[in-house]
Amino acid sequence: MAKKSFVKINIRGGIISSGDLGNIVNIAKKVNVDTVELGERQNIYFYIDKEKRGEAEELMRIAAFDFEVDNTKYPNIICSYAGVDIFNSNPWFGEGIYRDILYSFTFKPEIKINIADSTQALVPLYTGCLNFIPSSHVNFFYLYINHTTLEGIQPWPKLIYNTDIAELSRQLEKEILTEEYFDINSLSAKIDKTQKFITLEVDEPLAIPRIRFPYYEGVNKFGDKFWLGIYRRNNDFSIDLLESIYNLCTQSRIGQINITPWKSIMVKGIAEEERIEWEKLLSRHGINSRHSSIELNWQMADMDEESLRIKNALVKDFDEQDIRTYGISFAIYTGKKFDFNSSVVIKKRPGIFNFWGFLKKFTVYDILYSPDFSLNATNYHTYTSNITWNGLAENLRNLSENYYKQLSAKAPVKKNSPKEKRPQTVNLYQCKHCFTVYDEKYGEPENGIAAGISFEQLPAEYTCSLCDNPKSDFIKKDTEIYVS
């Protein structure tokens, strides 16, 4: 077998124009690439024969791609652009501001940078070194720094104006890469002496609402248009499939597609009259567009075949045992380093057992979980340790049941500074069959229901977003949450 090199193309913010998609298809064909994989940081990977490396590099330079071969020095800037108008409800953070921020980066960062809205769960908030999250003040962002020299994730002392994000990131990167240790406040004071940025005082802590994991696959209606999510169980996107997507985008005048951190493709803005053509495309390529939610909520390292095998085996086991995982996300860690924000972490490691005086090596697993099962976890507790494969699915099932038991408990809100908390009663409606909760504060953007729509305002034909049971099967729940 010929030796291979791997190619990584960074798709800044996960936004790829139809023209660039066509360029990737053409390059892949010229260097004999049949499939590509999508990465956790909204990038594209594929393997090439060593003798094709020079040709591939020249073609990618001509196409002006941000690429690396056999290297991962420059992590992609990721953002939640893909979820705009579908999975988030921020009143001011729209597509134009995302683009302005992304275009303002005139350098290639060597540290990980996330730009993500806290009202969505499609893109993790804290997997970057620098994590910019919009505040309630128009055009101003919180900054959270996640670095090994810090004790946990630390907030920047001021809100940052959107046009300053790129330059502040450049200055912070320089400091972070050259300092063995730094303190947030002293670093802020040092940067203030060299350049004045537009800032605001942090007048309220960042609050992260409890957000349901989005169903990001299939053809879905939003307003008078449709969006399509394409997921592949083994993360194998054929060049033939990508070429068909490119051709139909060109035919439909769709200027771009999006890559998600869940290693899927999203196409937005599909007109009613074009929907049938996208359905035909899925059929021609044998794409199943309605996987169970059990299959979709997994995070794994890029190009990690072992994690993929574990995930597929667990999904099969979950399905056979009828384990419900809706609303929970899982990460699989096999030793290959990657960044994740998930409700539950499955950690594989070697274990040694004593059998009648003989030491034997076994593969064991630890299960960790976020205390509130947050999709944006910043710390984990150990649920159980040293379990073998045979007990893994059962333990995950028990942990999942614990999650559903606490759904109606006090909804946790992440705070970054201690303030007095007071109880506030909210009205939630819960499906009596699958326990899915409708919360008017967030609505169901993925189903075209805007935030603020009360349960009483929902149409009579409304059905549960998970099990399709009727509106009449929802039970009112008076739940206390704690707010500052």
Asked if residue 426 and residue 325 are part of one domain, the reply reads no
Quick check: 102 and 12 in contact, CB under 8 A? Answer: yes
Element (H, E) at 391: helix 389-405
Nearest in space to 88 (alpha carbons), one of 249, 222, 275: 222
> Token pair of 33, please?
């690439």
Residue 440 lies in a domain: yes
Residue 25 lies in a domain: no
CA distance 160 to 106: 18
Query: Pairing state of beta strands 113-115 and 78-79?
Result: parallel
Asked if residue 429 and residue 354 are part of one domain, the reply reads no
Asked if residue 162 and residue 137 are part of one domain, the reply reads yes
Quick check: 310 and 325 in contact, CB under 8 A? Answer: no
**What residues are paired with 145 via a beta bridge?**
130, 154
> Token pair of 126, please?
């804290």
> Token pair of 149, please?
């020299």
Transcribe 164-217 into DSSP letters.
Answer: GHHHHHHHHHHHHHH-SS--HHHHHHHHHHH-PPPEEE--S-------PPP---
Residue 47 lies in a domain: no
Query: Pairing state of beta strands 256-259 and 237-238?
Result: unpaired
Residue 157 lies in a domain: yes
Asked if residue 428 and residue 384 are part of one domain, the reply reads no
The confidence score (pLDDT) of residue 423 equals: 44
Residue 40 lies in a domain: no
Number of domains present in the structure of the chain: 3
Quick check: 334 and 304 in contact, CB under 8 A? Answer: yes
Asked if residue 117 and residue 150 are part of one domain, the reply reads yes
Dihedral pair phi/psi, residue 470, rounded to 5° = -70, 165
Dihedral pair phi/psi, residue 58, rounded to 5° = -65, -45
Q: Which residues neighbour 364 within 8 Å (Cβ) at sequence distance 6 or greater?
A: 348, 349, 350, 351, 385, 386, 387, 388
Asked if residue 442 and residue 385 are part of one domain, the reply reads no
CA distance 328 to 298: 9
CA distance 405 to 327: 13
Q: Where are the beta strands (DSSP E) in 81-198?
A: 113-115, 130-134, 140-145, 154-155, 158-161
Helix, coil or strand: residue 447: helix
Quick check: 223 and 387 in contact, CB under 8 A? Answer: no
Domain end marker among 181, 201, 221: 201
Asked if residue 426 and residue 387 are part of one domain, the reply reads no
User: By CB neighbour count within 10 A (0-12 exposed, 13-18 middle, 19+ buried), where does 356 fall?
Assistant: exposed
Radius of gyration of the chain, Cα coordinates, nearest whole angstrom: 23
Asked if residue 110 and residue 187 are part of one domain, the reply reads yes
The confidence score (pLDDT) of residue 427 equals: 66
CB neighbourhood size of 1 (10 A) = 4
Asked if residue 390 and residue 318 are part of one domain, the reply reads yes
Residue 34 lies in a domain: no
Tell me, what DSSP letter sits at residue 272?
Answer: G
Q: What is the pLDDT of residues 91-127, one digit of tens each?
A: 899 999 999 999 999 999 999 999 999 999 899 999 9
CA distance 277 to 238: 19
The confidence score (pLDDT) of residue 420 equals: 40
Element (H, E) at 392: helix 389-405
Residue 42 lies in a domain: no
- What CATH number should be reported for the domain holding residue 388? 3.30.413
Q: What is the pLDDT of residues 443-460, one digit of tens each?
A: 776 567 877 788 888 888
CA distance 70 to 219: 36
Domain end marker among 168, 201, 234: 201
Asked if residue 197 and residue 96 are part of one domain, the reply reads yes
Per-residue pLDDT of the chain (484 residues; tens, 9 = 90+): 468 999 999 999 999 999 999 999 999 999 999 999 999 999 999 999 999 999 999 999 999 999 999 999 999 999 999 999 898 888 899 999 999 999 999 999 999 999 999 999 899 999 999 999 999 999 999 999 998 888 789 999 999 999 999 999 999 999 999 877 788 999 999 999 988 899 999 999 998 887 778 889 999 998 899 999 999 999 999 999 999 999 999 999 999 999 999 999 999 999 999 999 999 999 999 998 888 888 899 999 999 999 999 999 999 988 887 777 878 899 999 988 888 889 999 999 887 666 666 667 788 999 999 888 888 877 888 999 889 898 898 899 889 888 887 765 544 433 343 344 344 455 677 766 545 667 777 677 656 787 778 888 888 888 876 556 788 888 786 543 333 3
Boundaries of domain holding 442: 422-483
Quick check: 60 and 9 in contact, CB under 8 A? Answer: yes
Q: Is the pTM of this model over 0.85?
A: no
Domain end marker among 379, 405, 431: 405
Element (H, E) at 310: helix 305-321
> Token pair of 9, please?
């193309």
The confidence score (pLDDT) of residue 359 equals: 65
- What CATH number should be reported for the domain holding residue 453? 2.20.28.10
Q: What is the pLDDT of residues 123-150, one digit of tens each?
A: 999 999 999 999 999 999 999 999 888 8
Quick check: 216 and 264 in contact, CB under 8 A? Answer: yes
**One-letter identity of residue 142:** Y
Q: Would you give the end-to-end CA distance of the chain in angstroms?
A: 62
Asked if residue 426 and residue 385 are part of one domain, the reply reads no
The confidence score (pLDDT) of residue 11 equals: 98
User: Helices marked H in 11-112 — which ranges?
Assistant: 18-30, 53-62, 95-103
Asked if residue 399 and residue 456 are part of one domain, the reply reads no
Q: Which residue has the tokens 């705070």?
A: 415
Residue 290 lies in a domain: no
Q: Which residues neighbour 27 within 8 Å (Cβ) at sequence distance 6 or greater?
A: 33, 56, 59, 60, 63
